[in-house]
Amino acid sequence: MRYNRAVRGWLVVLTVTLAGAATLAAVLLTRGRRPAASPAAAPSGAPWASADFAGDGTPDFLRLDDEADRRAFTRWFTFLAEAQFFARPEDLPREIGDCAALVRFAYREALREHDGAWASALNLPAAPPGPGVRKYRYPFTPLGPRLFRIAPGPFTPLDLANGAFAEYADALTLVRRNCHFVSRDVRRANPGDLLFYRQLEHDLPNHVMIFLGPSPLDPGPADFVVYHTGPAGKTRGEIRRPSLEELQRHPEPRWRPAAGNQNFAGVFRWNILRQEL
C-alpha cells in the first residue's frame, strides 16, 4: 500500500563503596566515554546499589525514572520519527535505510541535547515544545553511545565491558532485548510503542513500525504509525505514515495489527520507560 508523501516541514544488586564507584568511572573513562553527570552516576561519598529490577537486560541506571523524562523522550522520539516522513529525500539521514534504522535514529536523537545547531544539522522543519530528557544526554550516557542491548539475560556489571551493548541492533534485537511485550491489542499502544511483525516468507522477515498516536505535524483526530519499508528491489525503499485506521484496513491482511493476524507479534514498549511497581 502506498501513501502520498507531503514535503514538510543499563538480575544483580551491586553495592559499591567510594572505591567501587571510582572503579566504575575508570572503566567508563578507559572505554573512551565520559560518565554522565546525572542521577545515573554514583552519588559521591555514599554507597550505591544498582540493579535490573525487571530482569529484562536493561540496567536501572538507564531507565527514565522521572515522569517528565519519560514524556520528553516519547515526545521527541515520535516527533523525530515522523519528521523523517516529511523530510525531502535529500535531507533524509543516509543511515535510514530500513525500519530498524529509522527506530535507532529516532531513539538516539531523542536523547541528545536539542539545540539550534543540532536541529539545523538535521534540517528539521519544526521542533516540539518542551524540554528534552534531563537524566543523561547522548552520547554522554552511562553506556556512552552503546544504547542498545544485544545480549540475552538480565544485566550484570560484566555487561559494561563484554559487548552486551552496541550502537547497532536489528529489528528483532530492538524488540527482544530492548523492549517488553504489552499486548496484541493495538488499542493498548501508547505513543512511542513499537508494532512488531514476523513475515517469514520475506527475505527480511522482521519488521517494526512506530505508533505515533496523534500527529503534532498534521493536527487532527487520527492516530498514525510510521515506518520504513526497507529496500525494495534496486531502490532504498521509503518512509510511510498511514493512519492506524488505514493500517487496520490494509489490503494485505498480514500487515493488519490485529490479534487474529499470526504475523502480528504485538505491541512492545521501550525498557527505559518501564516503571517498578
Q: pLDDT digit string (tens) for 175-205?
A: 999 999 999 999 999 999 999 999 877 666 8
Condensed to tens digits (0 to 9), the pLDDT of residues 22-68 reads: 333 333 333 333 333 343 443 333 223 369 999 999 999 999 999 99
Q: What is the pLDDT of residue 37?
A: 38
Q: What is the pLDDT of residue 202?
A: 67
152 vs 11, 35, 174, 176, 267, CA distance in Å?
12, 25, 12, 9, 20
Q: What is the pLDDT of residue 59?
A: 95
Q: What is the mean pLDDT of the chain?
A: 83
Q: What is the pLDDT of residue 152?
A: 97
| Secondary structure (3-state) at 212 | strand
Task: List phi, psi (to 5°) of 208.
Answer: -130, 140
Q: Which of 251, 253, 228 is nearest to 241 (CA)?
A: 228
Q: What is the pLDDT of residue 43?
A: 33
Task: List phi, psi (to 5°) of 131.
Answer: -80, 170
How far is the C-alpha of 76 from the C-alpha of 82, rounded, in Å? 10
List of E strands, 18-154: 48-50, 148-149
Side chain identity at residue 8, one-letter code: R
Contact 9, 86 (CB under 8 A): yes
Q: What is the pLDDT of residue 180?
A: 98
Contact 110, 130 (CB under 8 A): no
Q: What is the pLDDT of residue 18?
A: 27
Q: What is the pTM of this model?
A: 0.82
Q: What is the pLDDT of residue 276?
A: 84
Q: What is the pLDDT of residue 199?
A: 86
> Digits of tens for pLDDT over the chain (277 positions)?
444 443 333 322 222 222 333 333 333 333 333 333 343 443 333 223 369 999 999 999 999 999 999 999 999 999 999 999 999 988 999 999 999 999 999 999 999 999 888 988 998 877 777 899 999 999 999 999 999 999 999 999 999 999 999 999 999 999 999 999 999 999 999 999 999 999 877 666 899 999 999 998 888 899 999 999 998 888 889 999 999 999 999 999 999 999 999 999 999 999 999 998 7
Q: What is the pLDDT of residue 82?
A: 96
| Secondary structure (3-state) at 179 | strand
Domain edges within the chain: 63-145+171-273
